[in-house]
Structure 1
Amino acid sequence: MKYAVVFAIVALATIVYALPKPDDDKYTTKYDNIDIDSILSNERLLKNYIDCIQNKGKCTTEGDELKLHLKDAIQNCCEKCSDKQKEGVMKVFKVFSEKKPEVMKQLQEEHDPTGEYEKLCREKYPDVKIF
C-alpha cells in the first residue's frame, strides 16, 4: 500500500509538471539580451546569421533557436514573442527591408509565399510592416 501511495504522488506530480504553464506558450527569453544592433551593424556576423536561417551555413546556439521558431513566429505574428523579441524583430525587418531586400524577398518566398501571414499580421498590427 505504501508503494501505491508513493506511486500515485509521483504520477500526480508528473502530470501536474507536464501541464502547460502560462509561459509555455511563449518563446524562451534566454537570448533576449543579445545585442541585435551589434549583429545588424557587423556584416560578417549578419551574414553568418542569414546563412544559418537559410541553411547555407553553420548556426550558433542562438541561430538554431531563431531558426527553430522563425516560421512559427511569422505565422502567428510573433504572438509568442516577448516584448524584447518583438522589438528585435522590428529592427531586423527594418534593416533587411532597407539594406537587404534580397534577404527579405527570400524569407517571404520561403515562409509566406502567398502573403497570407503578412495580410493577417497587417490586419492585427496595421502600423507594423512584416515584409
Structure 2
Amino acid sequence: MENAALVGDLISVLLAPYDDMGAFSGRVRVSVPRLAAGEAAATNLALILHELATNSVKYGALSVGTGTLDVTCTIQDNDVALVWMERGGPTAAEPAEAGFGSKLITRMAARLGGSFASDWSPGASS
C-alpha cells in the first residue's frame, strides 16, 4: 500500500500531546496490532481520534489527574474494531441528541466502511 501508515503509530503520534504533558505522563496506552492505513483512511481516522481526544480532555478521563485512556484494536475476519476506553474520569451521561462531534465521527467511520457506537454505562467503552 503506497503512502500507508501503521495504525498503531498513527494513534500514538496523534495522542502523544495528551500524554506528554506532566500530569498526563503514562496515562494514554495504545495497543494495536500491525495494521496499515492508506492516506484517506489515515485522515479519517485522525479526525475521529482528534474529536475523541478533545472531548476526553474537556469532559472525560483526561480532564482529571486520575483518568486513563486505553485505545485497543482487534482484527477478526477482516473486521477491525477500535475501542476507546476511558477510566477514572467524571461520570458522563449520554447526550440527549448527537452533537457535531458525534455526527463527524459517524461520518468518518462510514467513510472507513465502518460504524461508530458508544456505551455510556460506567465501566463500558465508548
- What is the TM-score of this pair, normalised by structure 2? 0.25
Larger helix proportion, structure 1 or 2?
A: 1
Bigger share in strand: 2
Q: Greater CA radius of gyration, 1 or 2?
A: 1
Q: Highest relative contact order (Cα 8 Å, sep 6+), 1 or 2?
A: 2
Task: Give the TM-score, by structure 1 length.
Answer: 0.24
